[in-house]
Chain A
């Protein structure tokens, strides 16, 4: 295990993923804001939540990149193709399973079975996170492919 390479490229990949997602928001492709979503698990203040959530997201990115690195080691090779393939599986998992679990995990997120009590909660992502905009799956996919591509291309096996 090349710890230095993992720490560096895991960090870079997470930054790029976050940037792609934020860019998608700016381009009005999606309303999904992962740092905000994670941060509101700890605080309801919008500005503070984004800050806290960014920290959590960074740590998450590093932890997830460990799985990518573990897969590279298991295969005995890294590379663009391997990284992109894992990124694709990662994105598919996030969209179909991960986000669907969020209403159960997140203390401030409503579910689609919520109601009629109304509280000021985060709206649920729904299937493929489509509630956050029809192009959300596309932006999540692009972000994770970029994440995998960076790790696959730049992580060097010892």
Chain B
């Protein structure tokens, strides 16, 4: 593994933003914030993931931030409180030691109904453990992606108020603060050992702001949040290799679930670059149905059944406006996101321009989506869900759509902004769509399905893939029919049940992928060639490699070794971005990335089953129970 910079050092003076993996994330099931090792919240979008930012120092020095940390330099270590998304950053300077605790308060709905709570809040508690420290505070609100200059107003004991146009921000803090000329709020407070300072930033968009007191109330909120997260994490039933990072991945994934609708966003950030200084900068704050079955399997596999079922419901019912056609991406309520735009006034992460909001992939066509969604429903049925009549009709409509269109070219899983092609992965997912529909029919979940038609097309697709996606000269499956390029998505063929992992064809494919897409150590690129202008190794593809070995492409111990090496690429608090820099091992792309953590979890689940002597993938849809209630899927 490449040597990585010491994570304990603080932000250098020459870099505008710290390395991507120097961030950690906190959230509340509707929004997230990225917190740097300096104690600076550099990214925050309220009220939901895809809302315009309030802090965007992540993308521009003048983008806005909320910094709270001891003055001076020193050593920084951090961790999440065990089995929570409560972040603790420990600053050790020559003058003493301070611990900063950052979180967005969470609680059960019953608990929230018993007390008046802000719509959204970040609580920051800084405690001096040793010595005497000067704590500095800087609040620089730059709403609407820093297009709006904030005009904070001092409201005495009610704190500092900032009207963003979309809502009211209120800062309340034990730190004495003042508003300086350019709209920033600054302050400092000297803390001695044993002293604590509390700060709270709330947001109100729906009505009159709730202004919770500081002091003990912050500690109570901390206690409730820790209990809530631990209660949630206690449902995770996984005791296999690298348990800590698997649980951390589940907690990270949970932060990307939009609780009011059940949608899972790809990442909470936009425009973190796949190549620093380059233009591969995309907005991932939306939901890709393409990720469906991988995500659902990860959630069910860990025991996060409520999240998995809510996501399947979202997939089926929130996307109705476009059905039977499924779009590549949706917002958290299933609407079409606004068109892609660039924000020319933002300098970008370390000069990586342009900064984009919205995602033009929305207009692409990906024929793999149907297989993903239907496979997710099959997983849901495997876990006991009953398919209702509405869902039956929907599934049949998807099947009919696939039968009509699978022979056509599409943009494919990686959304290249080039010409459509006959992608092997899309063909295999078309096969998956029809195969799962037939399985659902066989088990009584689809009472009326055009079986003969579905079977005919399914078998036709298989014949075509086996004949045209196999390149005998390379001894490998290839990315496109009749082509000669490799693609890491081919490693999923056994995962979907299209090929046996131990077959000669898959062994040959894996060998070629390692040869041509290997990025050093156990990392893999997703593809190489004219369409891959210098991006990093792809996180989930590397985990697909580990899972392929676990599924039968190698021995269990080989799979464990690959998996453990990959897990070591996570940052100091267990988070992973979309990509990894093969030279430094550092994070590239949007962060943290749901898909990468999904890949980690799935690889862990398959490996664990293999180590326990069980079939790595369990795919058996039970028969529909007689007299099944007409429950939602």
Contact = CB atoms under 8 A, between A and B. Distances in A.
B632 A118 contact: no
Interface string B214-232: 0000000000000010001
A31 B254 contact: no
Interface in A108-134: 110-120, 123-124, 126, 130-134
A77 interface: no
A28 B262 contact: no
B389 A118 contact: no
Contact of B109 (A30, A44, A112, A114): A114
Interface string A29-47: 1110000000000001111
Contacts of A133: 321, 335
A45 B333 CA distance: 22
A116 B306 CA distance: 11
Contacts of A120: 262, 306, 309-310, 313, 632
A34 to B, nearest CB: 15
Nearest to B118: A113
Nearest to B119: A113
A115 B306 contact: no
B310 A116 contact: no
B289 to A, nearest CB: 16
B28 A115 contact: yes
A48 interface: yes
Contacts of B335: 130-131, 133-134
A112 B307 CA distance: 17
Contacts, number: 102
Interface in B297-320: 306-307, 309-310, 313, 317-318, 320
Contacts of A132: 333
**Interface size bucket, A side?**
20 to 34
Given A115-B28, A115-B29, A123-B261, A46 B306 contact: no
B260 interface: yes
B260 A115 contact: yes
A112 B206 contact: yes
B448 interface: no
A120 B27 CA distance: 21
Contacts of B109: 114, 117
A44 B257 CA distance: 22
A14 B325 CA distance: 32
A123 B318 contact: yes
A134 B306 CA distance: 28
A136 to B, nearest CB: 10
B260 A123 contact: yes
A44 B259 contact: no
Contact of B29 (A117, A124, A130, A131): A117
A111 B29 CA distance: 12
Contact of B260 (A30, A44, A112): A112
Given A111-B260, A133-B321, A45 B310 contact: no
Contact of B632 (A46, A110, A115): A46
Nearest to B263: A123
Contacts of B112: 113
A14 B317 CA distance: 25
Contacts of A110: 259-261
A105 to B, nearest CB: 14
B334 interface: yes
A114 to B, nearest CB: 5
Interface string B266-307: 000000000000000000000000000000000000000011
Contact of A45 (B28, B206, B306, B631): B631
A44 B633 CA distance: 11
A48 B317 CA distance: 17
Interface in A123-153: 123-124, 126, 130-134
A111 B30 CA distance: 11
Given A123-B261, A123-B318, A133-B335, A116 B630 contact: no
B326 interface: no
A149 B313 CA distance: 37
Interface string B223-253: 0000010001000000000000000000000
Given A31-B321, A115-B28, A118-B306, A46 B259 contact: no
B82 interface: no
Nearest to B262: A118
B390 interface: yes
Contacts of B73: none
B45 to A, nearest CB: 14
Interface string B181-207: 000000000000000000000000010
B633 to A, nearest CB: 8
B106 interface: yes
Contacts of B108: 117
A101 B335 CA distance: 22
B306 A131 contact: no
B500 interface: no
B30 A31 contact: no
A44 B333 contact: no
B286 to A, nearest CB: 15
Contacts of B257: 116, 118
Contacts of A115: 28-30, 106, 258-260
B260 A47 contact: no
A75 to B, nearest CB: 35
Contacts of A117: 29, 108-109, 259, 306
A113 B120 CA distance: 8
A48 B388 CA distance: 11
A45 B630 contact: yes
A116 B28 contact: yes
A121 B206 CA distance: 21
Interface in B390-406: 390
A126 B318 CA distance: 14
A120 B306 CA distance: 7
B5 interface: no
Given A31-B334, A46-B388, 15 more contacts: A28-B321, A31-B320, A31-B321, A45-B629, A46-B630, A110-B261, A112-B30, A114-B30, A115-B28, A115-B29, A115-B106, A116-B254, A118-B310, A133-B335, A134-B335
Interface of A: 25, 28-31, 44-48, 110-120, 123-124, 126, 130-134
30 contacts: A31-B318, A31-B321, A45-B388, A45-B631, A46-B389, A46-B630, A46-B631, A48-B630, A110-B260, A111-B260, A112-B30, A112-B48, A113-B206, A115-B30, A115-B259, A116-B228, A116-B254, A116-B257, A117-B259, A117-B306, A118-B29, A118-B257, A118-B306, A118-B307, A118-B310, A120-B310, A120-B313, A130-B335, A131-B261, A133-B321
The 3 closest A-B pairs by CB, nearest first: A116-B29, A115-B259, A115-B29
